[in-house]
């Protein structure tokens, strides 16, 4: 990864190199393609990250965590994104989306009993927000949770829930006050083994090693002690971690762009046509220049936001920009990678996988359309 380090500390460089060394050992290129073909979760690689202590990064030291900075996390996620999107999603769903919900909002027993298991790789998590009725519109959520004695009875359906099929627990949204719009939303910690929970794999275009799922909830009795935060206070809890999440999605996309350039360059510098290496043609060399410009632009946005978060700022506009720029540029860079490799890029293989993996970036974690609305609102345009 011969790229600018944006003032990385020696420890951050060592972390990046150590993570990549581990992943190269337990999740080599051939293994990635094998798992992709089988739509299989990268369990061995995930466990290797746990054993090396990397799942502890964002958590507080009192729970066994490392209290990493936002920049630490950006460096780490960029490295994961560079290696494989599936292992990035595996980390994000359990640690960032699931685990940090418990640390920020969970009851004391959740933090005490579950966070050490998350850190040790003994417990996997995912989050369930999106429904057939919509993803970004919290007011449109139809899943209901009704209090019944010491339990809540939850019924509804979730869709596009990444890694629900391998999760021990989901953090889900449900309406506890159906007439109050997003102000009637609550969060629950759902044991996936409870009666009435059915999880079914979906067949995605890309990222097939971290599958999306449908989750059906048929009068599932969830103990009231599994309410995350307060009843009807789910919406502000969902908003709390958005800056970090968007920054990390940008970092993952930046890492993937670096991998695309590497693969395309390795191929193009060996490929000859009309008596010369194809990189000697301006049409090809300029594609690489464009790819480099887009990658470094995405990285500039990502690390600028990480530094601002570490300084205690609330850069909502900037994180929305970073997420949008990085994920959309990732799609363009992937398309250029395929074009450079021609028929070889179009065939089933690593480049075509990266192309498919990139497509979900502007959709998941806040669509590009929603991001542009956030940006316009912060600008005072609307």
Categorise residue 39: left if φ over 0, alpha if ψ from -120 to 50, beta otherwise: left
Whole-number Cα distances in Å, 356 to 91, 328, 329, 360: 20, 13, 14, 8
* Count of C-beta atoms within a 10 Å radius of residue 337: 29
> How big is the CA angle at 130 (ends 376 and 162), to the nearest 5 degrees?
110
Assess contact for 169 and 199: CB atoms under 8 A: no
Residues with a known catalytic role: 245
The SS3 assignment for 127 reads strand
Q: How far apart are CA 175 and CA 234, in angstroms?
A: 9
What is the total residue count of the chain?
382
Q: Pull the structure tokens for residue 49.
A: 């990250």
Q: How far apart are CA 110 and CA 101, in angstroms?
A: 10
Buried-exposed string 35-59: b where 16+ CB fall within 10 A, e elsewhere? bbeebebbeebbebbbeeebbbbbb
- DSSP assignment of 78-108 equals HHHHHH-HHHHHHHIIIIIIIIHHHHHH--H
Q: How far apart are CA 325 and CA 361, in angstroms?
A: 10
Beta-carbon contacts of 51 under 8 Å, excluding residues fewer than 6 positions away, are 121
Per-state percent for the chain, helix, strand, coil, to nearest 5 = 60, 15, 25
Categorise residue 128: left if φ over 0, alpha if ψ from -120 to 50, beta otherwise: beta
Q: How far apart are CA 271 and CA 60, in angstroms?
A: 50
* Count of C-beta atoms within a 10 Å radius of residue 2: 5
């Amino acid at each position: 990864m011969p790229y600018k380090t944006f003032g990385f500390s020696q420890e951050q460089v060592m972390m990046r190199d150590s993570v990549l060394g581990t992943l190269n050992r337990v999740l080599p290129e051939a293994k990635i393609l094998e798992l992709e073909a089988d739509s299989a979760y990268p369990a061995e690689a995930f466990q290797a990250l746990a054993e090396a202590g990397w799942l502890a990064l964002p958590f507080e030291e009192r729970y066994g965590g490392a209290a990493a900075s936002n920049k630490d996390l950006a460096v780490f996620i960029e490295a994961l994104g560079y290696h494989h999107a599936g292992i990035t999603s595996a980390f994000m769903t359990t640690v960032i989306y699931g685990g940090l919900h418990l640390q920020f909002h969970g009851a004391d027993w959740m933090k005490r009993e579950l966070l050490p298991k998350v850190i040790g790789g003994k417990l996997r998590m995912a989050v369930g927000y999106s429904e057939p009725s919509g993803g970004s519109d919290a007011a449109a959520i139809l899943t209901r949770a009704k209090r019944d004695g010491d339990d809540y009875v939850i019924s509804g359906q979730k869709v596009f829930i990444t890694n629900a099929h391998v999760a021990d627990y989901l953090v889900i949204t449900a309406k506890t006050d159906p007439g109050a719009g997003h102000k009637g939303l609550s969060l629950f910690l759902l044991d996936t083994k409870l009666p009435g929970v059915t999880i079914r794999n979906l067949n995605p275009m890309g990222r097939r090693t971290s599958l999306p799922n449908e989750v059906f909830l048929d009068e599932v009795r969830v103990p009231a002690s599994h309410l995350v935060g307060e009843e009807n206070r789910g919406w502000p809890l969902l908003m709390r971690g958005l800056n970090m999440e968007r920054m990390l999605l940008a970092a993952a996309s930046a890492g993937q762009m670096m991998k695309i350039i590497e693969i395309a360059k390795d191929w193009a510098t060996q490929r000859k046509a009309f008596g010369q290496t194809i990189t000697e043609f301006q049409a090809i060399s300029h594609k690489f220049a464009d790819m480099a410009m887009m990658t470094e632009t995405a990285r500039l946005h990502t690390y600028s936001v990480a530094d601002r978060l570490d300084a205690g700022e609330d850069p909502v506009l900037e994180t929305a920009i970073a997420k949008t720029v990085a994920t959309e540029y990732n799609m363009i860079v992937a398309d250029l990678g395929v074009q450079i490799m021609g028929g070889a890029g179009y065939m089933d293989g690593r480049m075509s996988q990266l192309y498919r993996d990139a497509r979900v970036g502007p959709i998941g974690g806040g669509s590009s359309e929603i991001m542009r609305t956030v940006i316009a609102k912060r600008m005072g345009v609307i």
